[in-house]
Amino acid sequence: MSVDRAEPRAALLDAVRLRLAEYSGDPTPSRVAAALRAEGRLLGDTEVLGVVTALRSEMVGAGPLEPLLADPDVTDVLVNGPDEVWVDRGHGLERSDVGFADASAVRRLAQRLATTAGRRLDDARPWVDARLPDGTRLHAVLPPVVVGSPCLSLRVVRARAFALDELIAAGTLDAETAKLLRAVLDARLSFMISGGTGTGKTTLLSCLLGLVEPDLRIVLAEDSAELRPDHPHVVRLETRPANQEGAGLVELRDLVRQALRMRPDRLVVGEVRGPEVTELLAALNTGHEGGCGTVHANAACDVPARLEALGSTAGLDRAALHSQLAAALSVVVHLARDRSGLRRVAEIHVLERRADGLVVTVPAVVRGAHGAGERGPGWDRLAVLCERGAS
């Protein structure tokens, strides 16, 4: 619904909302009908139900964004202003015809969603990063931090993980690459999935975890619970921010430590983004095979440098980080997103330690924008690792 077409209905909703504010309780059809009669509006059953749906969506749902979030193809909803709402259906961003009455309406929705997630959003705390009860990732920023209108970013978490065949059909990977990733899992090699924002790292990791043997225990440690592996034995740990008094903070590195005491067969860090990298590498060096996670990086070859930078935040020097990395991590799977919005596995690298002690990645498979992957100089080493692990 565009903003222009929404104006008459917005006035009607405002009038009904004021009438309903005199009473407590949900906006039931009977209460809405009574409020409409009090306003001198006589509407049919269909119109009354439409008003009820709109009010409930505004009070407990995502308001005008509700239809977008309900669309199974939508992965992201971005609100830059009352008349500027963008969506991503897997083929890049496209502008939606959904709109808000004004910037105040965007602010009210942002604050209500933040409250639903148990977070504060106001002039004293003008941003929030949280997870809604249905798993949707919420980020909101209020002026004056953002110029003009409040901005909302909603990352929709798929209710179920993609199957490997679905990712093949979508072009994320081909059958040969899928077979290779299965071999990496079966060999219990530790691996990281790298890529930029929105390249599908979490989607691919959820899919791969669903292929893990059903009698193995998977323990997830995440900053925001987004992984949805189709697996019968999963334990999910999630970080927690400090309360208004500054107490109760639970960081990702705390979760990794706790996960190690929970007998994990597969330790998974949803996204390595800070000092928790030291706990993860230590765990992968102490018999926890098949550990995995995701990390932001521009290319597979940049992963060692990225982990080095993260390790420095925990006081781990370069030599120590590379020494642990050489024994902890075996494979890097890199995802890219082309200009058409297609997310795909672009590279698979193995890690090798040079004579100077530093770890570098060596391409084993490189996939172009179209067609199957080509074997690189690291292919033989990857084959040996898979065979050794499987045996």
Task: Looking at the chain, list the stretches that DSSP marks H as alpha helix, in order from N- to C-terminal side.
Answer: 3-20, 29-38, 45-60, 66-70, 103-116, 164-170, 175-186, 201-209, 252-260, 276-284, 303-312, 318-328, 379-390
The per-residue pLDDT for 279 is 87
Q: Is the pLDDT of residue 2 over 50?
A: no
Could you say which DSSP state residue 240 is in?
B
Provide the pLDDT for residue 50.
64
pLDDT tens, position by position, 82-117 = 999 999 987 788 999 999 989 998 998 998 888 878
Q: Is the pLDDT of residue 130 over 70?
A: yes
**Please, what's the b/e burial string for 327-347 (b: 16 or more CB within 10 A of its CB; e: otherwise)?**
ebbbbbbbbbbeeeebbbbbb
Average pLDDT of the chain is 85
Q: What pLDDT, on a 0 to 100 scale, did the predictor assign at position 7?
A: 45
Q: What is the pLDDT of residue 70?
A: 86
Q: What is the mean pLDDT of residues 20-24?
A: 56
Per-residue pLDDT reduced to its tens digit, 281-339: 988 887 788 999 999 999 999 999 999 999 998 888 999 999 999 999 999 999 998 87
Residue 58's pLDDT is 54
Q: What is the pLDDT of residues 211-254, one digit of tens each?
A: 999 999 999 999 888 898 999 999 999 998 887 777 889 999 99
pLDDT at 79: 96
Is a pLDDT exceeding 60 seen at residue 6? no
Backbone angles phi, psi at 292, to 5 degrees: -160, 175
Strand pairing report for 137-141 and 127-131: antiparallel
Residue 56 pLDDT greater than 70, yes or no? no
Please determine, looking at this structure, whether the domain spanning 164-390 carries the CATH number 3.30.70.100. Answer: no
User: Is the CATH number of domain 61-157 3.30.450.370?
Assistant: yes
Residue 313: what pLDDT?
87
Question: What span, in angstroms and rounded, lies between the C-alpha atoms of 129 and 155?
Answer: 11
Residue 233 is predicted with a pLDDT of: 96
Q: For residue 200, give the amino acid letter.
A: G
Average pLDDT estimate for 123-147? 90
List the structure tokens of 308.
């080095």
What pLDDT was estimated at residue 1? 39
Q: What residue spans define the domains of the chain?
A: 1-59, 61-157, 164-390
242 compared with 256, residue with greater pLDDT:
256
pLDDT above 90 covers a percentage of the chain that reads 52
